[in-house]
Chain A
Amino acid sequence: MLEFSELWSPIRLTIELAAITTVALLVIGTPIAWWLARSRSRFKEIVATVVALPLVLPPTVLGFYLLVALGPEGPGGAIAGLYGARSLAFTFEGLVIGSVFYSMPFVVQPIRNAFEAFGERPLEVAATLRASPWDTFWSVAVPLARPGFMTGAVLGFAHTVGEFGVVLMIGGNIPGETRVLSVAIYDYVETLQWTQAHILAGGMLVFSFTVILAMTLLQKRFSRPGE
């Protein structure tokens, strides 16, 4: 029979994972995007390439390296050791770290583009009006890049929701801990529970459609002259 609590657990877990990942990515991704947009360093495009790697890398490859890094022998294991655990692999925390890498390009790229789009002039204007660089960043750069932040947050969230390969590699399929939506759907199909698979898959379809539509409408609103 259909158990709604059984369906609800992966949904809640997925939303939690995506929300935490998105917030983490906005915090980590914004300075990276700023540096990529403003720096004249020779290494800038190399860093940009590293950030963009998950776009082309098979998720299993990324997942494999993350598994090694999060495992008992890697840095993840060392961090886990601080609070008595053996490893970050097959934990929710490990999933968050994996998702941050996996979804990074989807957050950093739109924010970088937004920072690049307005050019040097508004920053120079702010400087001639006595705003320090830190002040300028918050009072001019961030508000002007708002559409980029919106896009980045939405894409980061949506992309984390849909992640499968990486989760399977580093998180496995632990109910209530790492069993997120995509894994749950895969599981239901494997065990021929079509009704449950239909509900979750259909929900994802509606969710994805809504996200893209909402984003398009939001961008139209923010790019409207006079806004």
Chain B
Amino acid sequence: MNTIDAAFDGKLGTFHLDVAFTAPTRGITAVFGQSGCGKTSVLRCIAGLTRLPGRLNVGGDVWQDDETGVFRKPYRRPIGYVFQEASLFPHLSVAGNLTYGAKRASRSDGSNGVAFDDVVDLLGIAPLMGRAPMALSGGERQRVAIGRALLSRPRLLLMDEPLAALDRFAKDEILPYLEAIQDSLEMPILYVSHDMSEVARLAEHMIVLNKGRKVAEGEVGQVLERLDLHPATGRFEAGVIVTARVVDHDHAIKITHADLYGQKIDIPLVDAEPGHEIRLRVRARDVSLATERPKGISIRNVIAGKITEINEESETAYAETLVDIGGARLRARITRASVADLDLQAGKPVYALVKSITFDRRAFAGETR
């Protein structure tokens, strides 16, 4: 019973949502899609703020089942909801906002609580306590909103693009806090986002929506390797996640040497101990292919592999390819002309030239979870 089983099928105005999925009750599950795909509606249905025909079972508790007429009102569901804009109560101080849900939750639901001080420490909001919400920056406000949701003793945390309304600076401020929440609290999170880099960095499991339908579901790494999802995921950020092991650092030139399934790669210096595993994201548009190992080239990372799949896009100049590098796969976005000129086909050995690698985070802190 350690899953969240949801199915909603109904109309919201002219928009038809028809989605069914299963998410684990641990870790972050991303609900991903372009704007207007229905991801926020899914979250609202789970919170009970929007009612569509369907059913919902969270860890064995039925929250909605139209056949038996069960529909729990939103205020009877042990959820925490973080809206896109922080939505703090303007008539209460930061402390008043934080305790609003905490006071009410202890009365009704007996779920495992999070200590007030722990949340305040975790989110670094102690200095803001007496301030009014209007006097906070966007990032501070969102941190308080996250704290407020956590303190209402949720069994499920719902986050609706909590970073989308923030500038890049504020985003970078919040992301580590989200990781800290995930690491220190045993709380499943459903995280709605249209930003692939956020999903790749935070989530383990993902559900991809397009035009009100689910088009993919599974481990983030596996979903990202699929070549057929670009209408839903967008081309720009398409890519894969790979796990590498830190070998050593060269602080003089700010490079970390890492081992990627037996092949050496160089990445910009990361803060991780040698031996630790790190999670890296490689975008398809940053990977080129060569049939021979090139010489006299500025690209540091040349990874040997074998093409396993080619998906030519008939409406564009491009083809998406999947390259097996022995243990992991890389995606490369190249022109269809190159596919023809180099006679690329499944099974052909190639060298993947990786122009840029993004470090997401210390994936498993050295040990597998």
Residues of A within 8 A of B (CB): 121-122, 124-133, 135-136, 139-140, 143-144, 146, 225-227
Q: With a CB–CB cut-off of 8 A, which chain A residues contact B90?
A: 144
Distance A37 CA – B57 CA, assembled complex (angstroms): 34
Distance A133 CA – B76 CA, assembled complex (angstroms): 11
Distance A81 CA – B104 CA, assembled complex (angstroms): 48
Min CB distance, B194 to chain A, in Å? Answer: 20
B105 touches A130 (CB 8 A): yes
Interface centre among B47, B83, B91 (most CB of A within 10 A): B91
Please tell me which one of the listed residues B75, B87, B134, B135 contacts residue A130 in the complex, with CB atoms under 8 A apart. Answer: B75
Please tell me which one of the listed residues A128, A135, A136, A225 contacts residue B80 in the complex, with CB atoms under 8 A apart. Answer: A128
Known: A121-B87, A122-B89. A131 touches B104 (CB 8 A): yes
B135 touches A129 (CB 8 A): no
A-B contact pairs, 16 of them (CB 8 A): A121-B83, A122-B89, A125-B83, A126-B89, A126-B100, A127-B73, A127-B74, A128-B49, A128-B149, A129-B75, A129-B149, A130-B76, A131-B100, A133-B75, A144-B90, A144-B91
Known: A135-B104, A226-B134, A227-B132. A127 touches B152 (CB 8 A): no
Min CB distance, B141 to chain A, in Å? Answer: 13
**Chain A, Cβ-Cβ closest to B154:** A128
A225 touches B134 (CB 8 A): yes
Q: With a CB–CB cut-off of 8 A, which chain B residues contact A135?
A: 104
Known: A129-B101, A225-B134. A124 touches B91 (CB 8 A): no
A127 touches B105 (CB 8 A): no
Apart from the given pairs A125-B83, A127-B49, A129-B149, 8 other A-B contacts in the complex at a CB distance below 8 Å: A124-B81, A125-B87, A128-B101, A129-B75, A129-B100, A131-B104, A144-B89, A226-B135
Distance A127 CA – B47 CA, assembled complex (angstroms): 9
Q: Mark B55-79, 1 if CB is under 8 A from A, else 0.
A: 0000000000000000001111011
With an 8 A cutoff between CB atoms, is B108 at the interface? yes
A129 touches B91 (CB 8 A): no
Distance A121 CA – B149 CA, assembled complex (angstroms): 15
B81 touches A125 (CB 8 A): yes
Interface centre among A127, A144, A225 (most CB of B within 10 A): A127
B104 touches A130 (CB 8 A): yes
Residues of B within 8 A of A (CB): 47-49, 73-76, 78-81, 83, 87, 89-91, 100-101, 104-105, 107-109, 132, 134-135, 148-149, 152, 158
Q: With a CB–CB cut-off of 8 A, which chain B residues contact A143?
A: 91
**Chain B, Cβ-Cβ closest to A122:** B89
Q: With a CB–CB cut-off of 8 A, which chain B residues contact A127?
A: 48-49, 73-75
A129 touches B104 (CB 8 A): yes
Known: A130-B101, A130-B152, A135-B104. A125 touches B79 (CB 8 A): no
Q: With a CB–CB cut-off of 8 A, which chain B residues contact A124?
A: 49, 74, 81, 83
Distance A21 CA – B89 CA, assembled complex (angstroms): 32
**Chain B, Cβ-Cβ closest to A127:** B74
Interface centre among A128, A133, A136 (most CB of B within 10 A): A128
Distance A130 CA – B111 CA, assembled complex (angstroms): 13
**Chain A, Cβ-Cβ closest to B151:** A129
Q: With a CB–CB cut-off of 8 A, which chain B residues contact A140?
A: 89, 91
B81 touches A128 (CB 8 A): yes
Distance A127 CA – B101 CA, assembled complex (angstroms): 9
Min CB distance, A118 to chain B, in Å? Answer: 9
A129 touches B49 (CB 8 A): no
Distance A129 CA – B104 CA, assembled complex (angstroms): 7
